Structure 1
Amino acid sequence: MHVTTNAPHLLLTIISTILFLTGSALQHQRPDASSCIHSERAALLSFRKGVTFDHTNRLATWHGQDCCRWKGVKCSNETGHVLELRLRNENTNLDFMDACNDENALSGQISSSLLSLEHLEHLDLSGNCVVEYGKNIPSFLGSMKNLRYLNLSFIPSIGEVPPQLGNLSRLQYLDLGFNDINSNKYSLDISWLKNLQLLQYLSMRRVNLSQLELSSNSFYHEIAYSWFWKATSLKYLDLSDHGFFGEFHDALENMSSLQVLDLSFIFQNNLVMKGNYKNLCSLEILDLSFNELQLGLNNFTGTLPNLMGHFTNLIILDLTDNNLIGSIPMELGYLSGLTTLHLGYNHLNGTVPTKIGGLANLISLDLSNNKFDGIITDEHFADQIGGTIPESFCTLKELLDLDLSSNALEGEIPHCFEFKDITFLQLSNNSLSGHFPAFLRKCTYLGFLDLGWNKLFGSLPEWIGEVNKLQFLRLSHNIFSGNIPIEITNLNNLQYLDLSGNDISGSIPPHLSNLTGQELIYGDGLAYYTGIDLSGNSLAGEIPLDITSLDALINLNLSSNNLSGKIPNKIGAMQSLESLDLSKNKFFGEYQ
C-alpha cells in the first residue's frame, strides 16, 4: 500500500519535538534563560544574610531571580554557574587602618553556603571585616577546589592560616597579607604550599612564620630551607616584614618564573646574598630595602656582580637603608630596563660608575647618604653603548626623581642635564661647584630643588621666576652673591625658601605677598612647611611691609644681615608664625 506524507508538516513536527526537548533540558539547568542556578542563588542569599553591615550598599542589587546581574557576581554565559565573586573593599587606605574600623567594609561572617558555588573560580573578599572577632579564616575555604584566585588580604583575623588551603590545587593567586605589624596571624607549617604547583602570586605579608616547623624539625627559620621555594611557578613573592636570616644558598635556583621578590623590612636578622641567581632571568622588581642585608662579604666582586648581570628584566632595584659597603658594580649599567635605582642610606663608596648613564629608562635615582667621592662628569650621563651620543646630551630623558645628596661629590653639575620632566632634584651636602645650573630653566615641572651645602657661586638668574612649579627651594650655604632677583616673587607656589649662609647683598625684594603657598606634604611622609630663611647674608635696607600678609608663614629668619629701619608693626600679629629671628641686624624701635 502506498502511503503519502506531507513533508513540510513532518519537518515542522520534528523541529518542534527537538525544540521541546532542548527547552526541557535547558529548563532543568536554568529555570529561566536569564537567571542563574537556583541553588547558587540561594547560596548567595545565605552569604548576604551573614553580612550585617553594608554601608556602601554593595549588596543592594542582590534581589530578584537573576543573581548573575547582581553586583560583584559573574556567571558563565553558557551554563549560568557563578564563576566569580568580587566584593573587595575599594578603600585604598587599608595599609593604615583596620578594615573593621572602616565604614566602607562589609561586616559579618563568611557563610559556608559558598561551598555550594562548586564552579567558583575567583573569590575576592579583601579589605572586609568578614571574620568574627577573635576567630580565624574559615578552613572550609580549602574545599572550594575550583578556585584559581583567592584574595583574603586585609581581613582582620587571628590564629593559624588554614593548611586546608593546600587543597586548592588549581590556585594561581593567593593573597593572605595583612597590614598590622602586630598581627596574630601565623603559620606553623607551610608545607601545604608545595601542593599549589600552579601558583603564580603569593603574599603572606606580616603572617608570623617565626615558629615555623619543617619536617618535624625546629629550624630557626633560615630562609634557604623554606617550603615556598618549591613553588617554582611563582611570579610574585612577598615575604616582607618577616624574621628570615642566613644565606640563600641555591634556594632561588629554580625560581625562573619569578618577576617580583619583596624581602623588605626584615629587621630582626641578617640576610646574606650568597647563592645561585643565574636563572632569575624574569625578575623585574627586587625590593630588599630596610634590611640588615650583607653584601659586603663579597666586596661587590663575587656574588653581587653576577647577580646583577643576570637580572636583565629588572625594572625596580631598591636596596635602601641597609649596611651595604664597597663600590657600585659596573654590571648595573647593563640593566637597560631599570626605571628605579635606590641605593641610598648605605655605606657605599668609590666613584659612581659611568655606565649608569646607559640606563635610558631610569625615572628615579637615589644614591644619597653614602660615601661616594670623585667627580660626576658628562661621561656619567652619556650613553656608553655605542659611544655615538655627544657628551652634551643626557640619555636619562625620563628621569623624574634624582637624589645624590650627602655624598662627597665635587666638580660642576653636568651641563648635559636636560631633565625637562624632573619633579624632584636633591644634590645637597656635597662639594659641587659652578654657577646656578642653566638647565633648570627648562624644568617646568620641578617642584623640589635642594642644592644646599655645596660650593656653588655667582648670582641667581632672573629666569628663576619661570620655574613656577617650585614649592621647595633651598640654596643655603653656598657662595652665591649679588641681589635676590625680584622675579623670585613670581614663584606663586613657593612654600619654603632658604637662601641662608651665602653672600647675597642688596635688599629683600618687595611683593613677597605673592608667596601664598599653604602647608606642603612632600615625599614619603616628610612635612615641609611655609618658611623663609635669608639669614647669614649681607642684605641691607628695610623689611618689606607686605611680608606680614603671609598668613601661612611659620618660620621667618632674617638674622645676621645688615638690615635696618623699623620692624613692621604687624609682624607680631602674623597668625601662623611660630619662629622669628631678627637678631644681629641694625633695627630700631619695637614690634607689635
Structure 2
Amino acid sequence: MLKLYNLTHLLLVLLNLGALKVRVCFVIGCHEAEREALFKFKHSLSVVNSLLESWEGKDCCQWEGVGCHNVTTYVNSLKLRNLNWDYDFNEMFISAPTLDASLLELRHLNYLDLSGNDFQGSQIPGFLGSFKHLRYLNLSYSNFGGVVPSQLGNLTILHTLNLSTSVSYFTPRFLSSNLYWVSTLVSLQYLNLDGILISPIRDSMYYSLNRPSLLGLGLSYCGLSTPHFLSLFSNSTCLSQIQQLDLSHNLLEGPLPHVIANMTSLRYLSLAHNNLNGSIPLSLRNMRKREHLDLSYNNFSRVEEGAVMGILGNLCKLKTFSLSHNPIGGEIGTHRNFSNCSTYNLEILQLRRNLIGSTLPYWLGDFKKLRMLDISNNEISGRIPLSIGSLSSLEELDLSDNSLNGTIPEVLGQCKALVSIDLSSNSLQGAVSESHLSNLLRLNYLDLSFNPLDLNLTSNWSPPFQLGELHMKSCKVQTQFPQWITKQTNLTVLDLSDNSMSGTLVQWFPNNILLEVNISHNQITGPVPYFSALYLNSLDLSYNLLSGKLLHDGSSSKNDLVGTPLCQLPSLQFLDLQNNNIVGTIPDCWGSSDYLAYINLSSNNLSGFIPMSMGLLPFLGFLKLSNNSLQGPIPPTLSTSSSLQILDLGENKLVGSIPSHYPSLEMLLLRGNQFVGAIPPILCSLSKLQFLDLAHNNLTGSIPPCFGHLISMKSSSPQHHNVFYADNPFYAGPPIAAGEPSDSFTEPREDSTTVVLKGAELQYTTTLKFVVNLDLSCNALTGSIPEEMTNLSSLIGLNLSNNHLTGNIPKKIGEMRLLESLDLSNNNLSGTIPSSMSSLTSLIALNLSYNKLHGQIPTGQQLQVIKDPLTSYVGNPGLCGDPLPNKCETSPVQNQPQEEEEKKDDKKDNWENPLFYFVIFSGFATGFWVVVGSLLLKTRFRFALFQLVDRITDYFYVQVMVRINRIRN
C-alpha cells in the first residue's frame, strides 16, 4: 500500500514538473521562426501604424494584435484591423503593395483579420489557402483587387469569410470569374461578398448555398439581377436556415421574389436600393423571427390588402422597419387591428418619402420601445396625436415636409430621451413655450423651419440642453434676437433666417466651433461682427441692417474687435452680406481665406477699389459686388483667375477697358459702369460663357463677328455649368484642415441675381443656370449686326438697343428659335423685317422701335400677339400690316415704287420676249438639220449609226442575262 502511495506521489510530482516546464516555455516566449516571420512581415509594409511599434523584443506573444496558444505558444491569431477606417479612409492602419508570403510560417493560425487596410489594389494571394486551421478570415475593405483566388476553397473548416469591398470609382473591385470554390467550404456559416461582381453566366453558387450550415450571407453591390437571384436561391434546401441576408444595391426588379417567404428563420433582410415594384405581400408578416426589414429605395406602390402598417402582422420581434423612398400610397392605418401582438419590440420606423396620406394614428404611442420615428416627406395631415408623449424611448422624431396643422403638443416634452426633432415644412402654429423644451435634456438637433410659430420664451430662460444644430427659418418669430441662443455654446449650425428679428450680434459670436450661420432676411443692426469661430465655413447675414465697415479701424469699441475679421477666417467658404448698409472700402486682407468660393457683397455702400487679393483666392468661383460705388479698373488678378465662373460687378463706377481673359467664366455682368473702348474679340474664346451683360457703358466699335462662335450660346444643348460648386475642386471633396463642412453646404447655393430680360428686371434663383443671355445695350456701338450672331441658337435674350447700329436685321434671325426677348430698338437699322422672324415661336418680348425699318411686318404665331405690339414697332413709319393700323395695300409710300417697278418690267417684256423666242427657235433648227441632214445625205453615216445602236443593245442584253443566271444559281 505504501509502495502504491509512493508511486502515486511520484506521478504527481512528474506531472507538476511537466506543467512547470510548459509554464517556463510560455515565459520564454514565442517560437523564433514565427517571430522572424512577423518581423519580415512588418518590414514589408510601406506604412506602419503606431500599434506595430510594439513589435520589438523576443516574446511576440506580447505584441499588440498577436495572439498565441496558452500551452504551445504558437501564434494562432493575427488581429490587425484598422478600427478607424469607417471614419477616416485616409488614416490607414498598414499599407503595402502586396501581402507578404512570410505569414506562411504561421502554420497554426486560425484567426486572421486584416480589414480596413490598404494593399494598393493587389490580388488576394493564393497562399492564404494553405492555412488549414483557419476558421476566421476577414479581408474586407483592404483595397484588394483582381480575381478572388480559388485556393481559398482549401479552407475547409472556415466558419467566417468576409471579402467585402468598398464600392467607389477609386477602389478596385473584385472581378470573380468562378466562385465554385465556395462549395468546398463545408463549415462556412457567414459569407460576405459585398462589392464583388458576380457574373450570372459563369458563376455557380448553388452548391455553396445548399447546406444547412450557412447562417449569414452578404451580397450587396454584386450586380445581381432577378433571374440570377432566383437561380441562386430557388432550389436551395438551406433557405429555412438562413438568418441574415443582404441583397441591397443590386439590379433586382419586378415583384418581391416569392422565395423570400421560404426563409422562415430570417432575422435580417435588406432589399434596399433595387428596382422592385408592385405590392408588398402580406406573407412577410408571417416570418415571426424577423428583427430587421429594409425595403427602402424601391418602387413599391402599396401594401397588399391593407394599410401600410398592416405589414407588421405577427412580426412582434421586429426592431427595424424601413419603407423609405417608395411611391407607396394609402394610409398608415387608423385602427390597430392588423396584428395579434400584445407588445412590440419596434425601435426604428422609417416611412420617409412616400405618398402616405391620412392622419397620424393614435396607436403610435403603443410602440413603447420606439427610438426613431421618420414619416417625413409624405402627405400626412391633421394634428400630432397626444399619444406621442408616451414614447419615452424616442430619440429621433422627423415629421417634416407634410401638411400637419394645429399646435405642437406640450406632451412632446415628456419624451425625455429626444435627441433630434424635425417638424419643418408643415403648417404648425401657435406658441412654443418652455414646457415644450424644459425636460429635453439630451436635445441636440431642433428644426422648426417653415412653420408660423411664436417663440414664447422668457428672455432669461436657460435651456437644459446644448444644441448642435438649430434651424428656425421662416418661422415669423418677429421678436428680438433670442437671448437663450447665446447660451448654446456647442452650436455648429444656426439658421434663423427670414424671421423679422431685430437686435445686434456683436456680443454673442465668440462661439468658436460654429460651422454655418444663416441669419439673413431679418432686421439685425449694428456693425459687421468679428468671429472667434475659426472653423466657420458658411456665413449668410444678407438682407439685414448691418452698418459700419467690413474691417473696423481704431475708433471701434473693444467689443467690436473681439475675434477675427471675416476676410481672414481661414476656413470660410461661403460669405453673403448683400443688401445691408455696409460702408467704406473692401479690405485687402483675403490672403488667409484659402477655401473661400462664394463672396456676395452687393447692394451696400462700398467704395474704393476692388482689392487685388480677391483674385488670388484659389477656389473663388462666385464674386458679386454689384450695386455699390466701387471705382477704378478691374484688378488683373480677377481676369486671370482659373476658378472664377460667375462675376457680377454691375452698377458701380468702374473704369478702363473690358478685361479679356477669364479662362473659366460662365457669367459676366459689368452693366452700369464707365468702361470704354472696344469689345475684346478674345471673349469669343470663352467656351463656357453663356451670360454676357455689358449694357450701360461707353463701349465703342463694332460687335465682333466671332460672337457667333460662343460655344455655350450656340450649342443646341447649352452646357449650363454656372452652378459653380459642381466644377469647383474644393467642393469635390477636399476637407478643410479643421472641421468639415456639413452635408447641406455641399449642395448648390440658391443665389438671387437681377437680370434685365423681356423688358423688365427679373430675379432668378435656381433657374439662373438655364438663362443664356447677351446684352450690349446702351453703348456707342456702330456697324451692322453680324450675320454670325444668328448661330447663337441657345440664346433666350438678346438686347442690342440704344446703340448706333446700321444695316439690315440678319435674314437668318429666325434660326434663334429659343429667343424669348429681342430688343433692337433705338438704332439706325434699315430694310425690311426678315420673314424668318415668324419662326420665333418662343418670343414673348419684342422691341424694334425707333429704327428705319419699312415694308410689311411678317405674320407668325408670336409676332402679332406679343405684349404691347404697337410699342414694339413705333418709330418706324415705313412699316405696315398687322398689328399696326396702317395696312400695306393702302400705303402710297410703299405701293408707288412697286407699281413703277411693275411698269418697267412690262416694257422690258414687250421687246425682250420676241427676241428670246427667235434665238431659241434658230438654235433648235440649226442643230436639228445639222444632224438629220448629214444622215440623209451620207449613207455611210447611217449604217455606222445603226451598227452602233445594235452593238450597244447586244451588250446590255448579254449583261442582263448573265446577272439573271447568277441570281438563279
- Same-fold status (TM-score > 0.5): yes
Query: Are positions 1:153 and 2:164 aligned together?
Result: yes
Deviation at 1:278, TM superposition (A): 2.7
Q: 1:531 aligns with which of 536, 539, 542?
A: 539
Relative distance call for 1:101 and 1:574 in structure 2 (3 A) is same
Deviation of the 1:452 alpha carbon: 1.2
Is 1:374 the counterpart of 2:405 in the alignment?
A: yes
- Match for residue 320 of structure 1? 352
Aligned to 2:268: 236
Q: Distance in 1 between matches of 2:155 and 2:441?
A: 53
1:451 is matched with which residue: 454, 463, 472? 472
Q: What is the deviation of 1:374?
A: 0.9
Cα distance in 1 between the residues matched to 2:271 and 2:460 = 42
- From the superposition, tell whether residues 146 and 77 of structure 1 become closer, same or farther in structure 2 (CA, over 3 Å): farther
Once the two structures are overlaid, the 10-residue window that deviates more, 60-69 or 572-581, is 60-69
Change in 2 beyond 3 A, CA 1:12/1:100: closer
The CA deviation at 1:52 is 7.1
Q: Corresponding residue for 2:141?
A: 127
Q: Is the 8 A contact 2:191 2:218 kept in 1?
A: yes
Q: CA deviation at 1:587?
A: 6.2
CA 313–440 in structure 1, closer or farther in 2 if over 3 Å, else same = farther
- The answer to whether residue 132 in structure 2 is matched with residue 117 in structure 1 is yes
Out of 241-250 and 398-407, give the one that drifted further: 241-250
CA distance in 2, matches of 1:439, 1:149: 59
Query: 1:405 — aligned with what?
Result: 424
Give 1:473's match in structure 2, choosing from 494, 503, 511: 494
Partner of 2:220: 205
- Does residue 518 (structure 1) correspond to residue 551 (structure 2)? The answer is no
Call closer, same or farther: CA 1:12–1:84 in 2, change over 3 Å: same
Pair 1:92-2:85 in alignment: yes
| 1:420 and 2:435 aligned | no
Cα distance change of structure 1 residues 52 and 542 upon mapping to structure 2, 3 Å threshold: closer
Deviates more, 1:54-63 or 1:352-361: 54-63
> Who is 1:105 aligned against?
118
Provide the identity percentage.
27
Q: Write the distance in 1 (CA, Å) between the matches of 2:123 and 2:416.
A: 51
Give the drift of 1:580. Answer: 3.2
Which residues of 2 match residues 262-281 of structure 1 at below 5 A? 262-266=294-298, 269-270=299-300, 272-274=302-304, 277-281=312-316
1:180-214 deviation digits (Å, cap 9, x = unpaired)? xxx52356776568655465544322122214253
Residue by residue over 1:461-482, the C-alpha shift from the partner in whole angstroms, topping out at 9 and shown as x without a partner, is: 445422222233222212324x
- The superposition leaves residues 270-301 of structure 1 with CA deviations (integer Å, 9 ceiling, x where unpaired) of 36543754332222223444x3x2431x4223
Instruction: Tell me the residue number matched to 1:524.
Output: none
Measured in 1, the distance between the counterparts of 2:214 and 2:192 equals: 11
1:177–1:204 contact (8 Å) kept in structure 2: yes
Check conservation: 1:193, 1:231, Cα contact below 8 A: no
Quick one: distance in 1 between partners of 2:149 and 2:258? 23
RMSD: 5.0
> Residues 477 and 501 of structure 1 are in contact (CA less than 8 Å); yes or no, is this contact kept in structure 2?
yes
Matched, 1:432 2:453: yes
Contact 2:523 2:545 in 1 (8 A): yes
- For residues 281 and 151 of structure 2, the distance between their equivalents in structure 1, rounded to whole angstroms, comes to 34
Question: What letter is aligned with 1:465?
Answer: T
Change (3 A) 1:422 1:176: same
Whether contact under 8 Å (1:201, 1:234) holds in the other structure is no
**Inter-partner Cα distance in structure 1 for 2:88 and 2:204:** 26
Give 1:480-559 correspondences, 5 Å limit. 480-481=501-502, 483-484=503-504, 486-504=506-524, 507-509=525-527, 512-513=529-530, 515-519=531-535, 529-535=537-543, 537-538=544-545, 545=552, 549-550=565-566, 551-552=568-569, 553-559=572-578
Distance in 1 of aligned mates of 2:209 and 2:223: 19
**Distance change (3 Å), C-alpha of 1:475 and 1:215:** closer
Shift of 1:533: 0.9
- Secondary structure of 1:428's match? coil
More displaced, 57-66 or 275-284? 57-66
- 1:257 is matched with 289
Query: Which position in structure 2 is the counterpart of 1:175?
Result: 192
**SS of alignment partner, residue 331 of structure 1:** helix
Measure how far apart 1:232 and its partner are. Answer: 3.6
Q: Distance in 1 between matches of 2:223 and 2:403?
A: 38
Q: Aligned match of 2:328 in 289, 295, 300?
A: 295
Aligned twin of 1:580: 600
| Distance in 1 separating the partners of 2:462 and 2:164 | 46
Paired residues in the alignment total 538
CA distance in 2, matches of 1:560, 1:396: 42
Note the alpha carbon deviations across 1:507-537, whole angstroms, 9 max, x for none: 4147x22x122345xxxxxxxx2314141x4
- Distance across 2 between alignment mates of 1:129 and 1:54: 15
Counterpart AA for 2:403: F
Separation (CA, whole Å) in 2 of partners of 1:161 and 1:590: 69
- In 2, Cα distance between equivalents of 1:223 and 1:232: 19
What is the Cα deviation at residue 334 of structure 1? 1.8
* Per-residue Cα deviation, 1:142-163 (whole angstroms, up to 9, x for no partner): x645444332222842236836
Report the CA distance shift for 1:448/1:243 in structure 2 as closer, same or farther (over 3 A): same
For 1:257 and 1:78, how far apart are their aligned partners in 2?
A: 42
Secondary structure, counterpart of 1:357 in structure 2? helix
Match of 1:525 in 2: none
Q: Give the number of the structure whose residues are more often helix, by fraction.
A: 2
TM-score by length of 2: 0.47
- 2:230 equivalent in structure 1: 214
Is residue 461–residue 485 contact of structure 1 (8 Å, CA) maintained in 2?
no
Q: How far, CA to CA, are the matches of 2:534 and 2:337 in structure 1?
A: 47
Contact 2:327 2:353 in 1 (8 A): no
Write the letter of the residue equivalent to 1:312: Y
Query: CA offsets, 1:40-95, max 9 Å, x none?
Result: x99x979x99x975744899999999997786565665898987664544452499
Superposition deviation, residue 254 in structure 1: 5.0
Unaligned runs of 5+ in 2: 97-116, 167-172, 236-250, 305-309, 553-559, 612-969
Matched-pair contact (CA < 8 Å) for 2:328–2:354: no
Higher relative contact order (CA 8 A, sep 6+): 1
| SS of 1:489 mapped into structure 2 | coil
Cα 1:239–1:145, aligned 2, differ >3 Å: closer, same or farther? farther
Provide the residue aligned with 2:646 in structure 1. none
Q: Secondary structure at the match of 2:363?
A: helix
Change (3 A) 1:68 1:408: same
Q: 2 CA distance for matches of 1:94 and 1:485?
A: 35
**What is the match of residue 138 of structure 1?**
150
User: How far apart are the structure 1 equivalents of 2:429 and 2:327?
Assistant: 29
Counterparts of 1:308 and 1:407, CA distance in 2: 34
Partner amino acid, structure 2, of 1:421 = R
Q: Are the counterparts in 2 of residues 518 and 530 from structure 1 also a CA contact under 8 Å? A: no
Residue 372 of structure 2 contacts residue 394 of structure 2 at CA under 8 Å; is this kept in 1?
yes
Q: Which amino acid aligns with 1:174?
A: L
Question: 460, 484, 507: which one pairs with 2:481?
Answer: 460
Pairwise CA distance, 1:541? 6.1
Deviations 1:91-124 (A, max 9, x none): 5249979999965335653445646534x44332
CA deviation string 1:356-401 (max 9, x = no partner):
2222222222222x222312333551xxxxxxxxxxxx11222222
Structure 1, unpaired ranges of 5+: 382-393, 521-528
